[in-house]
Structure 1
Amino acid sequence: MILYIAEKPSLGRAIADALPRPHKKGEGCIYVGNGDCVSWCVGHLLEQSQPQAYDPAYKQWRMEHLPIIPSQWQLQAKASAKKQLAVLGKLIKQAQQLVHAGDPDREGQLLVDQVLHHFKVSGSKLASIQRCLISDLNTPAVAKALQQLRPNSEFKPLSTSALARSRADWLYGINMTRAYTLQGRKVGYEGVLSVGRVQTPLLGLVVQRDRDIENFIAKPFYQVIAHIETPQGDSFKAKWQPSLACQPYQDEEGRVLSKQLAEHVVASINGQPALVCSSRNSRKKQAAPLPYNLSALQIDAAKRYGLSAQQVLDSCQSLYERHKLLTYPRSDNRYLPAQHLQQGPAVLAAIAHNSEALQSAVSEADPSLKSKAWNDSKVQAHHAIIPTEKRAQLSALNSTERKLYELVARQYIAQFYPPHEYSDSEIQLQIAGGHFIAKAKQSLVAGWKALFASDNNKQKKSEAALNSSLPAVKKGEQLLCSHGQCLEKQTTPPKPFDDASLLAAMTGIARYVQDPELKKVLKDSDGLGTEATRAGIIELLFKREFLLRQGKSIRASAAGKALINSLPTTATLADMTARWEMQLNAISLKEQNYQSFMQPLEQTLNALISQSQSASLSSLRGVKSPGKSFKKKTANRHNNHKKTRNLANKRAG
């Protein structure tokens, strides 16, 4: 018997649908027509044991117990999962061949591997385990995935990476949370001061942004614009580029703060000849934006529709599991396997059938075009989020699901449109010894941008460029500066974080890293948290009332600010977490091993706990911790989520 172990029941049913009939439902499994069996986990069936499992004394939170570092790690069955775990144990024992069908990411790899390890699968049975990567729950796609099994051993580094992440989070979170909660009690704060290697730096970003806004003082700055005329009667504008000698009169962003200096430049260029130092006008092409990964989709949906990261994730999960209209949503990848290009016409036809609003866009698409998204070298366990070939009535979707489906679909259609072509012009001038530059961009061929016409109009309004186009001039030609103009502007405070910008900060964390060496080596993919965890981390900070919403803005609460002010700087910055994510990614790529990641952390914990004992938490004095109303709200929210999940499972079943 071959036993297929899926991550969750919906995936298990999808696998069974692609296997021979007749099917027979068993306890927590489905037997298929050829004698094989499909079973499933229900997410993580096993979890890290609590400290008291290692020593009953740890049930009491006491500073002398810290740091708690298990010598032999233990997992325990989740209370709600014991029945299904027993089912899997029996089936694993009976099976001659095992197929791992967890979700195609590091957590999906780990959760099934942990079950296999829990039941001590070893020897030839362990060596022969196959891995099935499924990102589309429609039967033809699942059937195809079942024909492309790979040795599970290939994915051991992915599982090791997830295991290291899990244990490191436990060590850091358990010890730091206990240490600072105990310190908080000394000043009368009764709540739990939760500290985590992702949630705390994220909170730190918001606290720092709020601090920057609060301390901001507006100041005027000045730009000098030269109005240029050609002998042929054409005119354009050029912007002054201050020289090195002007640096004492500029701020850190290069803005001129001296009105007297700006006015002096204006006076010196009025009516003066303008010598053309260089002139170029090149035709450029801009490729279509890549299909979405989860973070890119969450950011775009937040900008367009004001959706939170969790709303996007939940709706995409429904579009994947229940409606089978999207591929696997927790992807961190924006590329597609080359062989998937063959499915392009079928996917486009499904989009046109499903969405009346996109029919015209599909009709203009050219399936023979191949964008840069089709790149096998960029695809690992999973690929970008795209529509499936399934045809359905979008009337069955709720408003959020419909918006997200069409957002993903439009991004996919763009892969079959030609590049956007535009002219990029620049003229460099010398006027009265000063350096001036004029720039202009002009759209020539809309290409894929025709799909995003409304976005382009908004962008044009916000850009307010000095020139829409530039005349043809030659190097050495002499033009005339008819007059200069001094523009007075005001610096503006940084904007509070909202859902889109906070997610963007998490994915592009290198911008907020202090360590210049770390900043250099960070890749675009080395973000704060992972695609699968970011939404949950943000929601957790709201749940603990460390973050608050003010309209669309996200601000830190008094408790959130006080916690960040009480912690050592290293715990509040993104540097440590960014370094962790980079190392975890390196483990998954076989570029680093487990021990080289874990040992330094274990060695650091003693210093961190010692530092916590001398920390002053006086800023928490008088700050109220979440009380009964918070617990009641949390319980109601949990019950509502549970009802929603149960309803979705019934419909999916």
Structure 2
Amino acid sequence: MPELVIAEKPSVAQAIAAVLGSKERKDGFLIGGGYIVSWCFGHLVELAQPAAYDEKYAKWRCADLPIIPEQWRYAASPDKKKQLDILAALMKRPDVEAVINACDAGREGELIFRLVYNFCKCTKPIKRLWISSMEESAIAEGFHNLKDGVEYENLYRAALCRSQADWLVGLNATRLFTVLYNTTLSVGRVQSPTLALLTGREAEIAAFVKEPFYVPELHLGEFTASGDKMKDKAEAESIRVACDGKDAVAASVEKQEKSTPPPKLFDLTSLQRDANKLFGYTAQQTLDYTQALYEKKLCTYPRTDSRFLTEDMAADLPALVNAVAAAMPFMSSVRPNMNAGQVIDNSKVSDHHAVIPTASMPKADLSSLPDGERNILYLVAVRLVCAVGLKYTFAETVVAVDCGGYSFTAKGKATLQKGWKLFENAFRSALKEKVTDDTEKEPSLPDVTEGQVFSSVKASVREGFTSPPKRFTEDTLLSAMESAGAEDMPDDAERKGLGTPATRASIIEKLIKSGFAERKGKQLILLPKGINLIAVLPDTVKSPLLTAEWEHKLKEVERGGLSADSFMEGIAAMTSGLVREHAEPNPEYASLFPRTPAGDAIGKCPRCGLSVHEGKKGFFCEDRACGFAMWKDAKFFSMKKKKLDKKTAAALIADGRVSISGLFSQKTGKTYDAVVVLDDTGKYVNYKLDFGKGDKK
């Protein structure tokens, strides 16, 4: 009796099938070796649009809010229905006794599988494949140690809560503020607090006032000693006059050996941050590159929040590190060290360990990889070699100098042991990056003895200006998202910050797609629409602390410490309160969103209430973020030898239906009359025929 294996993507299913011996290809699945291996295409089943609950929700009206389903409904993604039907048929096969969930081993993978399983009304036992690598050995071991699906019920509940909470907050708040202020204002449970971080930084920059500062300095031959930074130029100048041409004395010389420990291994967020700093990659690009490497069996599972490995990996680590180092051409002249204990900690690994290269990486033709994937793989590989390396040690010298009754200080560093920096510097050199270490900021000082006299020194005043806060890059925004609200969270909170490592990239992309921010080089620049949105939003949907608390509670649901019902009751109550407290637009902000003149408008958008205008190829909502579009050459009309004209489009968006004569039937070759009904799902604009008797042609 075969077991049905369902993977998240076709490429993953093919890799699993190769290990299981499922070589016979069918339509939508592979079979053989006692298994049937099939796949999803990401989310095959999604939360239904509001109109599925009541047709009146097809139009955006404040009076209909809040929309809080008593019983959640789901719908098949229209463009993926064929594969969903294949999976449903496979689940119903009498010879299939169990279903193996082989979707990605995380919250979202669990949700993708369970929604399909439940939508198909399957009741067969679930087994869970939980692996961190797509290597053949890892897949084989995973199937040898399949888990009971019951163990992941709480993970599914947390995933479902996240999905439903985002639907409730996003849909209700977006409709509410869009209708109130006459422009599409996309609001999200994580997106809006992230936008608030950008807005807050922009406000700090706007409020910044540049101020000069002055630093008295003594030039002591081979080095310079500096006095205190001060705001008063006259005071600094008086110190210069008092010291210029006088003798100076080394009052004290302190030498201390210090060290910098090796960096931790990468989790997804730290990998995205370093890739942005070093290569300028967006968070989404880094995730895509790393996911591709995972599917090519070259690195481990990317969507992790851990920076450590588990104890069972310690024995194989030395061989992996040596092989990985040897595979990188820029590491040929250096030999890695090995201290596995620095990266092993079971208590700091939850679902997945840190991102590291696999044992397949040294055997692969790395030159054939796309540049982006190769750069990320090298970044991950070098970090592994660094993380098990020796400390970087240096000698720090602090010299205190007295002159004219004033004190000055000089600091210097000298490298004693390069340690892990040797490997990082080899990588940077290969990229033609400037190699830096701590001694560049504070170069070594010459030998100075306590009491040493410096004769007739030259004194000067160095002038500078205070610097404004820097705009966010994806590196610094990811850091801010990760730590948002952390100082106010309990010390034992398992998840802090905004979003998860797996979702932060998509949040940043959505801010840009919605027109709230844009990229300029590495910087994220806030746009007026984003500033205005945050101005009108209440703290309940833009507070980083509140959203961080929700993320913590989702983790509690995952652990079984909080019921899913309790979490959703809190979200529903917050959503109802939001609608109740913002029934009218705030006159203070009305000028931020002026109404667009009607002009050539043919009617009001059924989604957001703004104007729909005629374009060359169709009829479109004036706010492109809304996405409502009726194409003149839509297949529905072209098959019936009709073209969507202005009069017909206006009737459809006004009444939702229009009578049309002379529609062509491809079945009979004759024409007929019928009512065409606008069937807008909120995501797709469709049409259907109504003959009054329920029959359709």
The aligned amino acid for 1:468 is: S
Matches within 5 A, 1:424-573: 424-426=396-398, 439-453=411-425, 458=434, 460=436, 465=441, 468-469=444-445, 486-510=461-485, 517-518=488-489, 521=491, 526-573=496-543
Taking the aligned partners of 1:522 and 1:436, their CA distance within structure 2 comes to 45
The aligned amino acid for 1:65 is: D
Taking the aligned partners of 1:525 and 1:155, their CA distance within structure 2 comes to 18
Matches within 5 A, 1:624-643: none
State the partner residue of 1:201.
Answer: 193
State the partner residue of 2:655.
Answer: none
Taking the aligned partners of 2:226 and 2:463, their CA distance within structure 1 comes to 14
Deviation at 1:491, TM superposition (A): 0.9
Greater Rg by CA: 2
Contact 1:276 1:479 in 2 (8 A): no
Deviation at 1:181, TM superposition (A): 0.6
Contact 1:541 1:547 in 2 (8 A): yes
Contact 1:207 1:555 in 2 (8 A): no
Contact 2:257 2:394 in 1 (8 A): yes
Matches within 5 A, 1:135-154: 135-154=132-151
State the partner residue of 2:263.
Answer: 289
State the partner residue of 2:273.
Answer: 299
Go from structure 1 to structure 2 and tell me whether the alpha carbon gap of 1:155 and 1:276 turns closer, same or farther (over 3 Å shift).
farther
Go from structure 1 to structure 2 and tell me whether the alpha carbon gap of 1:142 and 1:479 turns closer, same or farther (over 3 Å shift).
farther
Taking the aligned partners of 1:561 and 1:585, their CA distance within structure 2 comes to 31
SS of the residue 1:221 aligns to: strand
Taking the aligned partners of 1:211 and 1:468, their CA distance within structure 2 comes to 40
Contact 1:336 1:375 in 2 (8 A): yes
Taking the aligned partners of 2:627 and 2:50, their CA distance within structure 1 comes to 28
Taking the aligned partners of 2:453 and 2:137, their CA distance within structure 1 comes to 67
Contact 1:161 1:588 in 2 (8 A): yes
Higher relative contact order (CA 8 A, sep 6+): 1
Taking the aligned partners of 2:396 and 2:628, their CA distance within structure 1 comes to 54
Contact 2:104 2:110 in 1 (8 A): yes
Of 164, 168, 183, the residue aligned with 2:165 is 168
State the partner residue of 1:85.
Answer: 84
SS of the residue 2:549 aligns to: helix
Deviation at 1:430, TM superposition (A): 9.2
Taking the aligned partners of 2:488 and 2:332, their CA distance within structure 1 comes to 49
Contact 2:488 2:545 in 1 (8 A): no
Go from structure 1 to structure 2 and tell me whether the alpha carbon gap of 1:581 and 1:424 turns closer, same or farther (over 3 Å shift).
farther
The aligned amino acid for 2:38 is: S
Taking the aligned partners of 1:89 and 1:55, their CA distance within structure 2 comes to 27
State the partner residue of 1:365.
Answer: 336
Taking the aligned partners of 1:444 and 1:382, their CA distance within structure 2 comes to 36
SS of the residue 1:18 aligns to: helix
State the partner residue of 1:644.
Answer: none
The aligned amino acid for 1:218 is: K
State the partner residue of 2:129.
Answer: 132
Give the stretch that moved more between structures: 625-634 or 558-567: 625-634
State the partner residue of 2:659.
Answer: none
Whether 1:69 aligns to 2:43 is no
Whether 1:217 aligns to 2:192 is no
Can you give the 5+ residue segments of structure 1 that lack an aligned partner in the other structure? 229-233, 242-254, 636-653
Of 367, 370, 385, the residue aligned with 1:398 is 370
State the partner residue of 2:662.
Answer: none
TM-score when normalising by structure 2:
0.75
Contact 1:274 1:478 in 2 (8 A): yes
Cα deviation code 1:23-82 (max 9, x no counterpart): 32234322222x232222222222111112222221111101111111122222222333
The aligned amino acid for 2:546 is: M
Matches within 5 A, 1:312-351: 312-321=286-295, 323-344=296-317, 347-348=320-321, 351=324
SS of the residue 1:555 aligns to: strand
* Number of aligned residue pairs: 594
Give the stretch that moved more between structures: 260-269 or 172-181: 260-269
The aligned amino acid for 1:453 is: N
Taking the aligned partners of 1:161 and 1:257, their CA distance within structure 2 comes to 54
The aligned amino acid for 1:109 is: E
Taking the aligned partners of 2:552 and 2:217, their CA distance within structure 1 comes to 45
TM-score when normalising by structure 1:
0.80
Give the stretch that moved more between structures: 454-463 or 147-156: 454-463
State the partner residue of 1:5.
Answer: 6
SS of the residue 1:381 aligns to: coil
Deviation at 1:397, TM superposition (A): 1.5
Give the stretch that moved more between structures: 145-154 or 402-411: 145-154
Give the stretch that moved more between structures: 297-306 or 571-580: 571-580
Taking the aligned partners of 1:102 and 1:68, their CA distance within structure 2 comes to 31
Go from structure 1 to structure 2 and tell me whether the alpha carbon gap of 1:460 and 1:84 turns closer, same or farther (over 3 Å shift).
closer
The aligned amino acid for 1:441 is: K
Give the stretch that moved more between structures: 100-109 or 608-617: 608-617
Give the stretch that moved more between structures: 337-346 or 425-434: 425-434
State the partner residue of 1:642.
Answer: none
Go from structure 1 to structure 2 and tell me whether the alpha carbon gap of 1:259 and 1:103 turns closer, same or farther (over 3 Å shift).
same
- How high is the sequence identity, in percent, across the aligned residues? 34
Matches within 5 A, 1:245-264: 256-260=230-234, 262=236
Whether 1:619 aligns to 2:592 is yes
Contact 2:415 2:439 in 1 (8 A): no
SS of the residue 2:342 aligns to: coil
The aligned amino acid for 2:533 is: L
SS of the residue 2:316 aligns to: helix
Taking the aligned partners of 1:41 and 1:317, their CA distance within structure 2 comes to 16
State the partner residue of 2:656.
Answer: none
Deviation at 1:175, TM superposition (A): 0.6
Whether 1:109 aligns to 2:97 is no
Taking the aligned partners of 1:100 and 1:85, their CA distance within structure 2 comes to 15
Greater fraction helix = 1
Give the stretch that moved more between structures: 497-506 or 257-266: 257-266
Taking the aligned partners of 1:451 and 1:217, their CA distance within structure 2 comes to 42
The aligned amino acid for 2:366 is: L
The aligned amino acid for 2:591 is: S
Can you give the 5+ residue segments of structure 2 that lack an aligned partner in the other structure? 598-609, 611-619, 630-697
Go from structure 1 to structure 2 and tell me whether the alpha carbon gap of 1:630 and 1:114 turns closer, same or farther (over 3 Å shift).
closer
Deviation at 1:119, TM superposition (A): 4.4
Taking the aligned partners of 1:225 and 1:588, their CA distance within structure 2 comes to 59
Deviation at 1:435, TM superposition (A): 8.0
Taking the aligned partners of 2:100 and 2:621, their CA distance within structure 1 comes to 47
Contact 1:222 1:262 in 2 (8 A): yes
Deviation at 1:445, TM superposition (A): 0.6
Cα deviation code 1:558-599 (max 9, x no counterpart): 222222222224433422222222222333234433234322
Give the stretch that moved more between structures: 460-469 or 214-223: 460-469
SS of the residue 1:447 aligns to: coil
Taking the aligned partners of 1:379 and 1:120, their CA distance within structure 2 comes to 34
Deviation at 1:622, TM superposition (A): 6.5
SS of the residue 1:64 aligns to: helix
Taking the aligned partners of 1:606 and 1:631, their CA distance within structure 2 comes to 25
Go from structure 1 to structure 2 and tell me whether the alpha carbon gap of 1:430 and 1:630 turns closer, same or farther (over 3 Å shift).
same
State the partner residue of 1:583.
Answer: 553
Of 401, 410, 413, the residue aligned with 2:385 is 413
Contact 2:534 2:542 in 1 (8 A): yes
